[in-house]
Amino acid sequence: RISHRTHHQNHGHVENDESWVPLTEKVYSSLDESTRKFRFRVPYPIFAYPFYLWTRSPGKKGSHFNPYSDLFAPNERRDVIASTTCWTMMVSLLVYLSFVVGPVEILKLYGVPYWIFVMWLDMVTYLHHHGYDEKLPWYRGKEWSYLRGGLTTVDRDYGMFNNIHHDIGTHVIHHLFPQIPHYHLREATKAAKSVLGKYYREPKKSGPFPVHLIDNLLSSMSNDHYVSDTGDIVFYQTDPKLFKSLKGKSN
């Protein structure tokens, strides 16, 4: 909840945004081969969520489980302690149940659904801020504003899953006006299109299953690797050697 609030308050900011933030060239260059592999070679990135909770993104310090992390203000520490305590109790319960009913049953009833949730969550949250047909800007300093950052978000059509998502695919309006309840997001988006004009990017229509998003994910992971260390308006750049080096390592 707290880190998601940080994400909303700083969307589109290179340093201050949270979650799927762009790596600066300096941070990217400091990563070892295995970290780059897990960051950019599908399917590894869509398993990132629990690891992000534990260590955050490369270049950022702290943990969602540490009340003294940079993520949290001093008055939020009690909430973090309560959350971490509940998380620990849940893990303990799962370990206990694995002895009672067996680890295979726990894997089937909890483990597999959990990892499906993680995969879907990672893909959805990533594609709301990456993978558009044209490169979108990220901002720093005086060039960043709440409005400009919000307009870098991307709407998506999830086909038959739109209602399950509470229409979160209408992500631009969700970021600009997070107080709008989910059941008004569609009509708010429709009303805002004429105001936003060229700054609104119509999502590609989906069939029942949003398989078209796989191409967006693969394209972004292949091309969106880092942004410049300097400049107040930056765009993703591509490391042409990345997948060649990873392929060489795997051979």
Residue 19 and residue 3 in contact, taking contact as beta carbons nearer than 8 Å: yes
The pLDDT score that the predictor gives to residue 249 is 56
Task: Identify the DSSP state of 31.
Answer: S
Whether the predicted pLDDT of 250 surpasses 80: no
**pLDDT mean over 168-175:** 93
The pLDDT score that the predictor gives to residue 71 is 85
pLDDT digits (tens, 9 = 90+) for 228-245: 999 999 999 999 888 775
Q: E-assigned strands of 110-169? A: 138-139
Residue 66 and residue 83 in contact, taking contact as beta carbons nearer than 8 Å: no
Q: Which residues contact 103 (CB under 8 A, 6 or more apart)?
A: none
Q: Is 121 helix (H, G, I), strand (E, B) or coil?
A: helix
Whether the predicted pLDDT of 109 surpasses 80: yes
pTM: 0.88
Tokens matching residue 124: 């959805």
Whether the predicted pLDDT of 220 surpasses 60: yes
Instruction: Answer with the residue of higher pLDDT: 71 or 189.
Output: 189
The pLDDT score that the predictor gives to residue 183 is 94
* Residue 248: band (very low, low, confident or very high) from pLDDT cuts 50, 70, 90: low
Tokens matching residue 16: 């201050």
Whether the predicted pLDDT of 137 surpasses 90: yes
Read off the amino acid at residue 156.
R
d(CA 92, CA 3): 25
The pLDDT score that the predictor gives to residue 62 is 86
pLDDT digits (tens, 9 = 90+) for 21-69: 999 999 999 999 888 888 999 998 989 899 989 888 888 888 889 899 8
The pLDDT score that the predictor gives to residue 192 is 94
Average pLDDT, the chain: 91
The pLDDT score that the predictor gives to residue 245 is 58
**pLDDT mean over 123-131:** 93
Q: Is 24 helix (H, G, I), strand (E, B) or coil?
A: strand
Torsion of CA 167, 198, 208, 128, to 10 degrees: -60
The pLDDT score that the predictor gives to residue 217 is 94
How far CA 169 is from CA of 32, 111, 131, 172, 182, in Å, comes to 34, 27, 14, 8, 10
The pLDDT score that the predictor gives to residue 37 is 86
The pLDDT score that the predictor gives to residue 230 is 95
